């Protein structure tokens, strides 16, 4: 028996006829770019997250860049984010000429530490070289960051707040999605994500009418949108008016059609993931240094099930011999990579550095059966390193 780290084939078997039919419909109507399924999916996605607007785009990385572009963030500006995250979170900031400022995480949840965030903002403000403009909090491994605390800090300093929910789309805190606190929620539909498509895709979600319209413009080369055209007359087709410098970041119609089918089973899949996480927690108790802790009042979508072990690499090698795949997310925080080492990290990042050495993600997907999971748990328990 081979154990999958993430079993996309099992999910496909469950809804294959619906997926095939959805793809066939797109092939039949032929509107491959910005076809009707794109708007339909955006409406359904916004409803799922309890947010007014969802604007889809080409991937979760550009979903982060688009609001920064819309807000005019650029050279001389500081954007605060964790270092213990996937590189995309911080990568988009220098794209715009701005500077990431790396902030340490909480040891239990791996999400940005509000106290360290506040201290970092004060340090950057006192230093006077950069202007604090925005915060990107990450819902790492699937659980929400401490949004009430982070949103209060954003308000105190007049900063924009992005929830990078590429791994956490569908998570809640006190029954609410991150959009209840953040100006913008972004997500990724990369195939391995809890809500993934069959290629690249992403979305930006917001309650802000102005921002949604601006991002709709920016994702299609800065095209003219309704507010640009109000009261204006044109000698030529306004389709070719470029009101601002944009990019090409659209979700393919075929991917939207696939996501419509996947969204129908998403809530059920989240329940399954939760049950699997509970089985891991019970089975692994006492055998590893740490099993995941979810923030009080929070739910996780369990993009990853991350445990900790002092001999992480030894445990990974032991599991590999038993046929259990694992992954270390992330073995190197962003600031430890050469190309990001130049950016500020006031107060240092001791927790991020320590966690990079001990974290190990176990197989996690909604179709992990009890027998296979028992084998994984036994494998971890049998490690004597």
Ligand X SMILES: Cc1ncc(COP(=O)(O)O)c(C=O)c1O
Please select the residue that binds ligand X; options are 37, 51, 56, 60, rule is CB under 6 A. Answer: 60
Q: Please give the backbone phi and psi of residue 356, each rounded to the nearest 5 degrees, phi first.
A: -60, -25
Place of tokens 């309890």: 50
Closest to ligand X by CB, 11 vs 61, is 61
Place of tokens 């999400």: 111
Closest to ligand X by CB, 298 vs 379, is 298
Closest to ligand X by CB, 89 vs 373, is 89
Please select the residue that binds ligand X; options are 57, 69, 103, 166, rule is CB under 6 A. Answer: 166
Please select the residue that binds ligand X; options are 99, 111, 188, 253, rule is CB under 6 A. Answer: 188
The yes or no reply on residue 59 touching ligand X (CB under 6 A) is: yes
Please select the residue that binds ligand X; options are 65, 88, 101, 135, rule is CB under 6 A. Answer: 88
Longest Cα separation, the chain: 76
Q: Which stretch binds ligand X (CB under 6 A): 86-94, 152-160, 174-182, 307-315?
A: 86-94
Q: How far is residue 306's CA from residue 280's CA, in Å, rounded to a whole number?
A: 10
The yes or no reply on residue 85 touching ligand X (CB under 6 A) is: yes
**201, 251 in Cβ contact below 8 A?**
yes
Give the residue closest to ligand X by C-beta.
60
Site mask for ligand X (CB under 6 A), range 130-159, x = bound:
--------x---------------------
Closest to ligand X by CB, 65 vs 294, is 65
Q: Please give the backbone phi and psi of residue 326, each rounded to the nearest 5 degrees, phi first.
A: -140, 170
Binders in 189-248 for ligand X, by CB under 6 A: 190, 200, 202
Q: Which stretch binds ligand X (CB under 6 A): 98-106, 161-169, 215-223, 333-341?
A: 161-169
β-pairing verdict for 160-164 and 184-188: parallel
Number of residues that bind ligand X (CB under 6 A): 15
**267, 169 in Cβ contact below 8 A?**
no
Two tokens at 373?
């999971």
Please select the residue that binds ligand X; options are 56, 61, 206, 352, rule is CB under 6 A. Answer: 61
Please select the residue that binds ligand X; options are 37, 164, 252, 308, rule is CB under 6 A. Answer: 164
The yes or no reply on residue 86 touching ligand X (CB under 6 A) is: yes
Closest to ligand X by CB, 89 vs 306, is 89
Q: How far is residue 249's CA from residue 221's CA, in Å, rounded to a whole number?
A: 9
Q: Which residues contact 185 (CB under 8 A, 6 or more apart)?
A: 49, 51, 162, 163, 165, 169, 177, 178, 179, 204, 205, 206
Q: What is the DSSP string of 118-184?
A: HHHHHHHHHH-SSEEEEEEEE-GGG----HHHHHHHHHHHT-EEEEE-TTTTT-EETTB-GGGT-SE
Of 324, 333, 321, give the one whose Cα is nearest residue 359: 333
The sign of the CA dihedral 332, 308, 352, 135 is: positive
Please select the residue that binds ligand X; options are 89, 253, 291, 306, rule is CB under 6 A. Answer: 89
Residue 190: CB minimum distance to ligand X, A = 4
Closest to ligand X by CB, 138 vs 362, is 138
The yes or no reply on residue 255 touching ligand X (CB under 6 A) is: no
Give contact residues for ligand X (rule: CB under 6 A): 59-61, 85-86, 88-89, 138, 164, 166-167, 188, 190, 200, 202
């Amino acid at each position: 028996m081979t154990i999958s780290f993430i079993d996309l084939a099992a999910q496909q078997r469950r809804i294959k006829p619906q997926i095939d039919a959805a793809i066939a419909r797109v092939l039949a109507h032929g509107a491959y770019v910005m076809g009707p399924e794109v708007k339909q999916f955006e409406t359904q996605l916004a409803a799922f997250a309890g947010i007014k607007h969802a604007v889809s785009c080409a991937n979760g990385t550009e979903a982060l860049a688009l609001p920064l572009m819309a807000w005019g963030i650029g050279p001389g500006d500081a954007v605060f984010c964790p270092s213990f995250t996937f590189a995309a979170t911080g990568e988009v900031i220098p794209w715009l000429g701005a500077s990431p400022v790396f902030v340490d995480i909480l040891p239990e949840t791996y999400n940005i530490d509000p106290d360290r965030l506040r201290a970092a903002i004060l340090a950057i403000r006192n230093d006077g070289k950069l202007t604090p403009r925005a915060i990107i909090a990450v819902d790492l491994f699937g659980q929400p960051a401490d949004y009430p605390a982070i949103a209060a800090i954003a308000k105190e300093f007049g900063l924009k707040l992005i929830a990078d929910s590429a791994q956490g789309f569908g998570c809640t805190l006190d029954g609410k999605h991150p959009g209840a606190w953040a100006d913008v929620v972004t997500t990724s539909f990369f195939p391995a994500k809890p809500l993934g498509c069959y290629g690249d895709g992403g979305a930006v979600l917001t309650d802000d009418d102005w921002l949604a319209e601006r991002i709709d413009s920016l994702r299609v080369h800065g095209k003219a949108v309704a507010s640009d055209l109000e009261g204006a007359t044109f000698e030529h087709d306004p389709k070719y008016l470029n009101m601002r410098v944009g990019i090409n970041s659209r979700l393919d119609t075929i991917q939207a059609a696939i996501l419509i089918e996947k969204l129908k089973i998403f809530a059920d899949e989240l329940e399954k993931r939760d049950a699997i996480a509970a089985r891991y927690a019970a089975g692994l108790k006492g055998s590893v240094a740490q099993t995941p802790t979810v923030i009080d009042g929070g739910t996780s979508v369990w993009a990853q099930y991350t445990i900790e072990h002092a001999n992480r690499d030894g445990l990974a090698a032991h599991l590999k011999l038993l046929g259990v795949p694992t992954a270390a997310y992330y073995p190197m925080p962003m600031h430890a990579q050469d190309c990001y080492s130049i950016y500020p990290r006031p107060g240092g990042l001791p927790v991020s550095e320590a966690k990079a050495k001990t974290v190990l993600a176990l197989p996690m997907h909604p179709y992990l059966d009890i027998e296979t999971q028992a084998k994984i748990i036994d494998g971890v328990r049998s490690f004597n390193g």
